[in-house]
Copies of this chain bind each other. A is one copy, B any other.
Amino acid sequence: MWVYIEKIRDFVEQEVTIKGWLYNIRSAGKLMFPELRDGTGLIQGVVSKKEVSEKVWEDFGKLTQESSVIVKGLITRHPKKEDVYELQVKDLEIVAIAEPYPITPKEHGVDFLADRRHLWLRSPRQSAIMRIRNEIIQSIREYMYNNGFILFDTPIFTPNACEGTSTLFSTDYFDLGKAYLSQSGQLYAEAGALALGKVYTLGPTFRAENSMTRRHITEFWMMEPEMAFFDLNDNMNLIEDFLEYVVQRVIKNKKQELDFLGRDLSKLEKVKKPFPRITYNEAVEILRKKDIPLIRKTENGEEHIRPFPYGEDFGAPHEEAIVEAFDKPVMVHRWPAEAKAFYMKRDPENPKLALGVDVLAPEGFGEIIGGSQREDNLDFLLERIEEHQLPLEEFGWYVDLRRYGSVPHSGFGLGIERVVSWLCNLEHIREAIPFARRPNRIRP
């Protein structure tokens, strides 16, 4: 019977068939130890010359790395290691002998691997990351589903821009001029929330930013819930409940993969609500106490501004300094309104502040969530659109949401690859998605 390696513990002392690929093989006299992978895990086979036919013994000798095989044998417990199993090989069918495989156990450069991403994904590390990504996204979907959110797939082709058009990809769209690829489904999700109560989007978003940092890709997946009758506080309550669920479920269900990546689980186990909530002003105080300057690029290099000035956005070093004292995600709320998007509601207690919240992951993984309460007042929203010089005719439908039954509402956006990077402890976001797209990479 064909079984997957991940289920092998259910078949101890049974004869099974494994279909997969040769990952590695070593021989010791009259024994060979092929290591097999089938996409769900690795298992070591034991081939004893006296137990198999001459043909099977010889065929094992012919196998190259990544040759595809169908192997029959008996599952046994490893004599010494707990929860490790072996395959006592009885038969082998070669499906295809692989040409010399370019990715060997030696170290390869990053470009070499990225050029061969279609093969690199077969490595135990990359497949562990992909299985964790799968678990993260499924956890998100189930949380949303179980909590009454309706999936609301917002359009990719849009005539308008959420945050300006300079970083948008565009395409010709029949006789209608240009269509822009969505950077965020939020504005549409707001229409969804007023129709369906609680909705979420989860799809690809696009940013034409010519930025080669280790946290940027041009095509990334984002989850954006939007809730009618939620204020900023409800939004933050949801964020911490949601993140706790996802993180705790992932470490429970993907322990093996996380261990394989060398992830320190004790750090993730601490991700339980409540999360610290600090205002933007308090965050600036932290930076000032730690004497972290704002760094501005100038013609002659860099200018370091001390103390960190109120009103400026944070970069990676600031985010790291802010979260340093905490072992949980940190929610930074109430931001200077000028630094934030036009749709954010102002704080009734101080109209210079926007009711936004950014969530910074612990351990210096940076911003994983940006959210806010949305402006629900028709006149204020019209003012903002004018101030930001946005084309009112394109936002007419969005403004309508304040004409017909406006309600307080809030939402946030979560970057999937940022979360994968955080939970897998990745140095570079390129490993967090099957085929990362960056300004210099669109192949394979």
Q: List residues of chain A with CB under 8 Å of any chain B CB.
A: 2, 4, 6, 19-22, 38-40, 66-68, 70, 95-96, 98-99, 101, 116-119, 121-122, 126-127, 130-131, 133-134, 137-138, 141-142, 145, 148, 150-159, 169-176, 179, 181, 188, 191-198, 203-204, 206, 208, 210, 218-219, 221, 228-229, 376, 394, 396-398, 400-401, 403-408, 433-435, 437, 439-440, 442-444
Q: Which residues of B contact A169 (CB under 8 A)?
A: 171-173, 179
Q: Which residues of B contact A38 (CB under 8 A)?
A: 197, 228
6 examples of A-B residue contacts, CB within 8 angstroms:
A95-B406, A96-B406, A133-B151, A134-B145, A171-B171, A174-B208
Q: Which residues of B contact A138 (CB under 8 A)?
A: 141, 145, 151
CB–CB A99/B67 < 8 A: no
Q: Which residues of B contact A208 (CB under 8 A)?
A: 174
CB–CB A181/B192 < 8 A: no
CB–CB A155/B434 < 8 A: yes
Q: Which residues of B contact A173 (CB under 8 A)?
A: 169, 442
CB–CB B99/A66 < 8 A: no
Chain B min CB distance to A26 (Å): 19
Q: Tell which of A19, A126, A153 has the most Cβ of chain B within 10 Å.
A: A153
CB–CB B158/A118 < 8 A: no
Chain B min CB distance to A38 (Å): 6
Closest to A138 in B: B145
Q: Which residues of B contact A150 (CB under 8 A)?
A: 39, 130-131, 134
Q: A154-B434, A171-B169 are in contact. Are A179 and B442 (CB under 8 A)?
A: yes
Q: Considering the complex of A and B, which 6 residue pairs feature the smallest CB-CB distances, nearest first?
A: A39-B197, A397-B444, A118-B191, A121-B195, A66-B405, A39-B196
Chain B min CB distance to A241 (Å): 16
CB–CB A219/B156 < 8 A: yes
Report the bound CA distance from A138 to B122 in whole Å. 28
Closest to A394 in B: B443
Q: A119-B400, A157-B219, A405-B67 are in contact. Are A440 and B204 (CB under 8 A)?
A: no
